[in-house]
Every structure is written in C-alpha cells, then in structure tokens.
C-alpha cells in the first residue's frame, strides 16, 4: 500500500508542477508568434493553451469532482477531442488562459489532497471510456496536459 500512496503523492506533485511548466513553455515563444507558431496539425500555441484550459476547467475538473464525491456517477461524454474549438477566442489574452488553467488545476488538487485511499478507487461511468476511477481521471488530467506541453515545447 505504501507504493500506491507514494505513486499518488508523485502524481500530485507532477499535477501541481504543470501550470508552471506550461507558463515556462509559453514564455519561451515570443508573444508575436503565439498565433503563428503551429504544431504539425496546424494548431497555434494560443489555440493549444485555449484547448488545454477549456478541457481542464470544463471537462476534467467537473468530472473529477463528481467521481471523487459521488457514488458511481454517470458522466457525460465529450462530443469530440476538439469540442471547445467553437468557443475559441483568438483575442483572449493568453495570460488569462494560463491563470484559468492554473486555477482549475488547483481546484482539482484541493479535492485530490483530501481523498482517502478508498476515494481514489471510487468509480464513475463515462461513455465511451467505461467505468473509470478518480485515480484514472487524475492520471488522465496529467497525461492530457503532458501531451500538449510536449507539443508546445516542440513548436518550431
């Protein structure tokens, strides 16, 4: 059980570090290139951060809260991976998006820090993913941000 406790502690540390890592990665790109630097799929740095923030605040955080606090909730599916594109605002200040991402992540971490070992294994049903635990959602939050951080760091 100590291994699992240590794993979760490391996961919380990695989750806590990501907002700072994202801000650092963005700071390495000149502000004049936030809309022109694009990844292989043609998405700009500004769009990447908007997407990251939106999924963190509007998808992961609410779903994580439900799974962490309710008995076997039924979660709504995403319409697609890029479902937030319709709400994208190119004129939104990137600094605001970074702050929003950090705020949503801190809210999730506050919930995570209060979880008992049993709470981490509490399930919720998410189509099409199926039955997923609070721990799976925390790992998914980390993995999603990690993937986009890698893309942002590799923008040419």
Encode the chain (156 residues) as per-residue pLDDT tens digits: 699 999 999 999 999 999 999 999 999 999 999 999 787 788 899 999 999 999 999 999 999 999 999 999 988 877 666 667 778 899 999 999 999 999 999 999 999 999 999 999 999 998 878 899 999 999 999 999 999 999 999 885
Closest CA to 100 of 54, 67, 138: 54
Distance of CA 108 to the CA centre of its chain: 10
Instruction: Identify the three-state secondary structure at position 44.
Output: strand
H-helix or E-strand spanning residue 125? strand 123-126
Sketch the domain layout of the chain as residue ranges. Answer: 2-153
Superfamily for domain range 2-153: dinb family like domain (1.20.120.450)
Backbone angles phi, psi at 123, to 5 degrees: -95, 165
Contact, 17 vs 145, CB < 8 A? no
Question: pTM here?
Answer: 0.92
pLDDT for 79 equals: 65
């Amino acid at each position: 059980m100590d291994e699992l406790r240590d794993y979760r502690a490391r996961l919380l540390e990695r989750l806590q570090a990501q907002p700072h890592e994202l801000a650092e990665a963005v700071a390495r790109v000149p502000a004049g290139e936030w809309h022109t630097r694009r990844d292989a799929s043609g998405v700009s740095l500004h769009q990447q951060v908007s997407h990251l923030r939106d999924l963190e605040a509007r998808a992961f955080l609410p779903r994580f809260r439900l799974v962490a606090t309710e008995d076997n909730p039924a979660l709504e599916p995403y319409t697609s991976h890029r479902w937030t594109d319709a709400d994208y605002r190119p004129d939104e200040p990137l600094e605001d998006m970074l702050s929003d991402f950090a705020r949503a992540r801190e809210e999730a971490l506050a919930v995570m820090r209060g979880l008992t070992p049993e709470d981490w294994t509490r399930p919720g049903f998410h189509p099409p993913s199926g039955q997923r635990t609070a721990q799976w959602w925390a790992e998914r939050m980390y993995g999603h941000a990690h993937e986009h951080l890698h893309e942002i760091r590799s923008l040419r």
